[in-house]
Structure 1
Amino acid sequence: MPLIEAALLEILACPVCRSPLREDAEAQELVCTGEACGLAYPVQDGIPVLLADEARQTRTGG
Structure 2
Amino acid sequence: MARTPVVDQQACISCNLCVDLVPEVFRLNADGVAEVHNATGAPEDKIQDAIDNCPVNCIAWED
Higher relative contact order (CA 8 A, sep 6+): 2
More strand by share: 1
More helix by share: 2
Shared fold per TM-score greater than 0.5: no
Given the two structures, how large is their TM-score scaled by the length of structure 1?
0.30
